[in-house]
């Protein structure tokens, strides 16, 4: 039997990715499902705003304040929950968050006025707070590096699917039965998701961040001194203000400007999210191959802003505006995975939960501020100006994305 040349064996390179695809896919799928419930909960109230305004005598500013309450609680909680995730692990935090969504759905089914809706916003905001620190901690620890771009794509895609499902789910069941039945169905949905995640809980386990006794005082907050973190925060705040306009006011804008029915206008928001999901899928391949995440994000947001400006001009018919608005979702979606890669490059080792918690709280601040600002526009009948303002804010976010890129490469 010939002797085996050990030198030749030693020269054989290891597999490019020794982690089985099935293992990575399971983690990505479970985290994606959880993320979808988070985005579903963003719209736990908004699709039924016209009904609440009719039944409870509310104004646009009133219902806009509900979204502000949700995102103020979510944003402040998100920044703090990043520390909790780093200390006790992402899994228990994720389970508690979905439990809050379950309670919010039950509270919504029993609401008899504005105070009840405020309670729903509070509970859902508490549940939403830990999601991005928990999700990205799990993905960064449990998914192999070569597949992270695709993991971020799937994460964003499932989030958009959650956004797309919520209006169709809630409005559809309300049309068939009533809105209280719709919230009972939502509660059952959360029970099913939580049960599946608990069954597969071992795949969601993460290592905790151990703080050494000799660590300098305040070392946990050292990341906050990095300018790039705050440029990331600014990008999320600005880009999210635009998304909040689409989610909260697009149905009303379409109805007022083009006489589109509430059902068709609501489905347009779902179409925007579905197109965003397709964009996320395409963007996953872009993020996995591009070395310039910031440039991808900048071009995607610029394209989305220009499409929104076309919608604001009123040149298009109702159908044309709905189609272009949906296409805006695709343009913005393409930049999603690159956006998450951009944040990863800016994150110091061992601070994933804290950085993602702080940066993504900009998302919540944007969602909180936008309804208050543009709700005033809507109450004054400035419907086209609301869309134009959302487009201009998205253009400003391009400058923030470029700022992130410059500061990441200089580190």
Write the pLDDT tens digit of every residue in 290-319: 777 888 888 999 999 999 999 998 888 888
- pLDDT-based confidence at residue 240 (cuts at 50, 70, 90): confident
CA distance 224 to 326: 37
Two tokens, residue 7: 């030198």
Write down the pTM of the prediction: 0.72
* Dihedral pair phi/psi, residue 314, rounded to 5°: 80, 5
**pLDDT band at residue 17 using 50, 70 and 90 as cut-offs:** low
Phi, psi (degrees; rounded to nearest 5) at 212: -75, 150
Residue 71 CB contacts under 8 Å (≥ 6 apart), including other chains: 125, 364, 365, 366, 367, 368
Q: 37 falls in which pLDDT band (50, 70, 90)?
A: very high
Q: What is the pLDDT of residues 269-293, one digit of tens each?
A: 878 888 888 888 888 888 877 777 8
Q: Crossing angle of helices 336-345/227-258, nearest 10°?
A: 160
> pLDDT band for position 36 (50/70/90)?
very high
d(CA 102, CA 70): 15
At 243 the pLDDT is 85
Residue 408 confidence (pLDDT): 66
Euclidean distance between CA atoms 11 and 301, whole angstroms: 46
- Give CA–CA dist 80/349, Å, rounded: 18
**The pLDDT of residue 85:** 82
Mean pLDDT of the region 104-123: 95
- Residue 217 φ then ψ, to 5°: -60, 130
What values do phi and psi take at 16, rounded to 5? -60, -35
Q: What is the pLDDT of residue 308?
A: 92
Alpha-carbon distance of 305 to 50, in angstroms, equals: 27
Give 4: exposed, middle or buried? Use CB within 10 Å, 0-12, 13-18, 19+. exposed
Note the pLDDT tens digit of each residue in 45-95.
988 988 999 999 988 778 878 888 887 888 788 777 777 887 888 899 999
Q: What is the mean pLDDT of residues 18-47?
A: 89
Region for 171 from its dihedrals, namely left if φ exceeds 0, alpha if ψ lies in -120 to 50, beta otherwise: alpha
Q: Give the pLDDT band of residue 14 (cuts 50, 70, 90).
A: very low
Q: What is the largest CA-CA distance in the chain?
A: 90
Q: Is the pLDDT of residue 195 over 60?
A: yes
Q: Over pLDDT 70: what percentage of the chain?
A: 89
Judged against a pLDDT cut of 70, whether residue 172 lies above it is answered with yes
Beta-carbon count within 10 A of 146 CB: 12
Q: What would the pLDDT profile of 335-359 be if each residue is shown by its tens digit? A: 888 887 777 776 666 566 677 777 8
Instruction: Give the chain's domains with CATH numbers.
Output: 22-206+222-409 (1.20.1250.20)
Q: Give Rg (Cα) of the chain.
A: 22
More confident residue, 109 or 60: 109
DSSP 8-state assignment for residue 59: -
**In whole angstroms, what is the distance from residue 318 CA to residue 255 CA?**
9
Residue 367, CA distances (Å) to 7, 93, 114, 361 in order: 60, 22, 20, 10
Mean pLDDT in residue range 5-25: 59
Determine the Cα–Cα distance for residues 326 and 389; give it in Å rounded to an integer.
18
């Amino acid at each position: 039997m010939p002797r085996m040349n050990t030198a030749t064996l030693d020269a054989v390179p290891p597999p490019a990715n020794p982690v089985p695809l099935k293992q990575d896919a399971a983690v990505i799928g479970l985290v994606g499902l959880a993320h979808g419930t988070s985005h579903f909960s963003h719209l736990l109230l908004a699709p039924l705003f016209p009904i609440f305004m009719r039944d409870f005598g509310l104004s646009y500013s009133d219902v806009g304040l509900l979204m502000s309450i949700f995102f103020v609680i979510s944003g402040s909680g998100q920044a703090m929950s990043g520390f909790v995730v780093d200390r006790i692990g992402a899994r228990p935090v994720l389970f508690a968050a979905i439990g809050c969504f379950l309670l919010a759905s039950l509270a919504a089914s029993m609401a008899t006025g504005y105070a009840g809706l405020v309670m729903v916003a509070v509970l859902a905001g508490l549940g939403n707070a830990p999601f991005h620190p928990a999700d990205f901690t799990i993905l960064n620890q449990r998914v192999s590096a070569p597949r992270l771009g695709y993991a971020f794509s799937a994460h964003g895609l499932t989030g958009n699917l959650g956004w797309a499902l919520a209006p169709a789910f809630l409005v559809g069941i309300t049309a068939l039965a009533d809105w209280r039945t719709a919230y009972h169905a939502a509660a059952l949905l959360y029970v099913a998701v939580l049960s599946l995640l608990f069954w597969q809980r071992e795949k969601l386990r993460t290592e905790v961040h151990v703080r050494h006794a000799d660590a300098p005082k305040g070392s946990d907050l050292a990341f906050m001194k990095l300018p790039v973190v705050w440029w990331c925060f600014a990008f999320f705040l600005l880009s999210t203000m635009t998304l909040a306009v689409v989610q909260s006011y697009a149905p009303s804008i379409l109805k007022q400007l083009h006489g589109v029915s509430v059902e068709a206008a609501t489905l347009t928001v779902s179409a925007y999210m579905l197109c965003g999901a397709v964009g996320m899928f395409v963007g996953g391949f872009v993020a996995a191959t591009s070395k310039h995440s910031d440039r991808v994000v900048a071009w995607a947001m610029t394209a989305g802003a220009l499409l929104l400006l076309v919608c604001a001009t009123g040149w298009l018919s109702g159908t044309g505006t709905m189609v272009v608005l949906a296409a805006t979702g695709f343009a913005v979606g393409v930049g999603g995975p690159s956006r998450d890669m951009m944040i990863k490059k800016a994150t110091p080792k061992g601070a994933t939960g804290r950085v993602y918690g702080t940066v993504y709280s900009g998302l919540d601040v944007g969602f909180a501020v936008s309804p208050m600002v543009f709700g005033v526009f809507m109450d004054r009948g400035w419907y086209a100006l609301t869309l134009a303002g959302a487009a201009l804010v998205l253009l400003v976010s391009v400058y923030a994305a470029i700022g992130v890129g410059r500061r990441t490469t200089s580190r």
